[in-house]
A and B are shown apart, each in its own frame.
Chain A
Amino acid sequence: MKTPEPVRRYVHPEPGEDWPALAQRVGSALAALQSWNPHLAIRPPPVVLTPIDVVFVEPPRPDDA
């Protein structure tokens, strides 16, 4: 049985990557990217993104739970 389609497309941050660099890498506007990832948007510095984080690169799909 093949790998199922992801619930939403996502990436993991590269080690040391910040929001602007990640937005550039995935080709999304920073504000949009953060709005799709409220679980990450309010994290205080110094560690803003971690390599194991899930960063969605598309908005929630309409049929999502």
Chain B
Amino acid sequence: MFDLIIRNARICDGTGAPGYVGDLAVRDGRIAELGPGPTLASAEAHRTVDAGGLVLAPGFLDPHTHFDAQLTWDGLAQPSLEHGVTTVIPGNCSLSLAPLRSAHREFLGAVFRQIEEMPKSAFDAGLRWTWESFGEYVEAIAPGLGLNVAPLAGHSLLRLFVLGYESRDRSSTPEEVRALQDLLRRSLDEGALGMSTSFSDVDHEFRPVPSRLATLAELDALCAVLGERGRPLQVLPEFWEADLLRTRIDMLAELSLRHGIPVHFSPLFESEATPGLVEAALERLELQARRGARVTAQMQTRPIDITFDASQASAVFAAMPLWMGTLMQGPEAIRKAFSDPSTRKALVADSETENRPIALSFTLAQTRLSAAKGASRSDVGRTLGEIARERGVHPAEVLMDVSLAEDLAARFTAASLAHADESKVGPALTHPLVQIGAGDGGAHVARFATYGDTGHLFARFVRANPVFDVEGAVKRLTKDIADAWGIADRGRLAKGLAADLVLFDPDTIDRGPEELAFDLPGGGDAFRFVRRARGVKEVFVAGTSVHRDGEGYSQARPGAIVEGPSR
């Protein structure tokens, strides 16, 4: 007697091998049997599913998320799970929520909210800090997990724990380096898969995050600890400039070679603002791979769209120092600046920069007014350039005028800022040194939806502009990621492996349209952008159904903390 049998499925096992119609059986959370044809015709199970020829694949892995906070109130990482994602890796870019001394919670919360763009109301209402060590964080989230989590320990957190607030200002002493190493060892022992670091994030006061105050020697010492267990390092480099990125690739390759560790950096963007960057980075990765280095680039599947309002700073203004400085000062100062003739003139001039922030092809003229409740409502959907021409003013003035008229609540959407040319993105996604990821799940919640990149891969790069067959796309979302991160018992369909499964229709799987969801802790006006799944019929974690199309989420919480490799 099995717990579950799925019959008549098109089994794509994650290896890229041709799919076949067959059956799969689960017992005790593991794949017990699978094979072609009516392999299990006479077998019995507590539940039998007729797949009707739909694709049965390993659950997808999302290697770049920031679900650290959300997992404390939502162990399903909604809506990622309903897209077929059964394992997530949070704690990227030097930021996790542990280890963390209780005295540093307020500071870390401010940093996390700034970088991951999460409303304070949701963070405060949803998060119940009960931990200091990494193990205590894992214990806090584990009982509620509906999907699997392979968390990283953030380098900035390690530094904050050991150096306190001085981690923002200085490098470490030799004694502190040893303490950092001990803390990382302990965190790995207590459930961390690996470590993340950042060379480019800034905190809520626009100061470099603590990981950036480390010396290369400190980072090397921490990589030595990762090397003791063959654990991965994730890095956010200066991804927007080719020379810098290639130099970082060389640096990461040395760390990989010296310590025998995999290193994953993210993101790698295709953008008309940085022509040739992807090709240059891939060439460098290939060069270092020939030396034996294991460095891969994470690349997302979706184009970059960003929604913003004028009540606070946004990344789209990164190359406009006056705009950035103004928007950092809060609503009252912003209203005053937008109303002052001389400041308006200076802001218009500042918006004329030809610099492109972090590889984004951002222009105010092409930005659309996407939400307004007052007098500007009739202009929703139009670009600021169109409105400006009609009014005989500059697009920057339209943004200021509409924002003032809407009490800074009007929203603007800059679409396809990068990564939108599918003729270039598609081939890059097939590169063996590119890992599909960088989706940022759980972050930037009021800027764009970070869910459904998996469905988008099938919709755009299997069906519309094919660079993969179904089996190839499944492999990229499963085995390739599991292998890259040393996750041994997931990512494939084979006897004895974890029964993380997704049943989907290859002709319709996709992400739905971006929509507002008012489901954040604390309620009120706080919202996030989500995309619902299409074409995903059922998702199983450890053989237990956790989401079924048309029925929603089950009450089961079969998720687990994923064990990393050991030497």
Contact = CB atoms under 8 A, between A and B. Distances in A.
A1 B292 CA distance: 9
Contact of B242 (A16, A42, A44, A64): A64
A12 B219 CA distance: 13
Given A4-B250, A7-B246, A12 B215 contact: yes
Nearest to B279: A65
Contacts of B246: 7
Contacts of A44: 206
Contacts of A4: 250, 287-288, 291
8 contacts: A15-B170, A15-B215, A39-B241, A47-B213, A53-B212, A54-B247, A56-B243, A64-B242
Interface string A24-64: 00000000000000010011101100111110100010001
Most buried by B among A39, A47, A60: A47
B475 interface: no
Contact of A60 (B168, B170, B243, B279): B243
A8 B279 contact: no
Nearest to B246: A7
B169 interface: yes
Contacts of B280: 64-65
A6 B246 CA distance: 9
Contact of A10 (B206, B242, B247, B275): B247
Most buried by A among B169, B211, B276: B169
A52 B214 contact: yes
A52 B206 CA distance: 17
B208 A50 contact: yes
B136 to A, nearest CB: 29
Most buried by B among A15, A54, A64: A54
A50 B208 CA distance: 8
B196 to A, nearest CB: 14
Interface in B146-185: 168-171
Nearest to A15: B171
Nearest to A54: B247
B285 to A, nearest CB: 12
- Sort A-B residue pairs by CB-CB distance and give the 3 closest, nearest first: A65-B280, A65-B276, A15-B171
Contacts of B279: 65
B243 A47 contact: no
Interface in B206-264: 206-208, 211-216, 219, 238, 241-244, 246-248, 250-251, 254
B277 interface: yes
B523 interface: no
A12 B254 CA distance: 15
B250 A16 contact: no
Contacts of B213: 47, 50-52
B468 interface: no
A6 B219 CA distance: 20
B199 A52 contact: yes
B242 A12 contact: no
B259 to A, nearest CB: 16
B290 interface: yes
A1 B215 CA distance: 27
B291 A1 contact: yes
A6 B279 CA distance: 17
Given A47-B208, A64-B280, 7 more contacts: A7-B246, A10-B247, A15-B215, A52-B199, A64-B242, A65-B277, A65-B279
Given A39-B238, A52-B215, A52-B216, A47 B169 contact: yes
Contacts of A42: 321
Contacts of B250: 4, 6-7
Nearest to B242: A65
Contacts of B248: 54
Contacts of A54: 238, 244, 247-248, 251
Interface in B271-296: 275-277, 279-280, 284, 287-288, 290-292
Contact of A51 (B168, B171, B206): B171
B114 to A, nearest CB: 15
Nearest to B197: A52
Most buried by A among B244, B275, B287, B288: B244
Nearest to B292: A1
Interface string B415-437: 00000000000000000000000
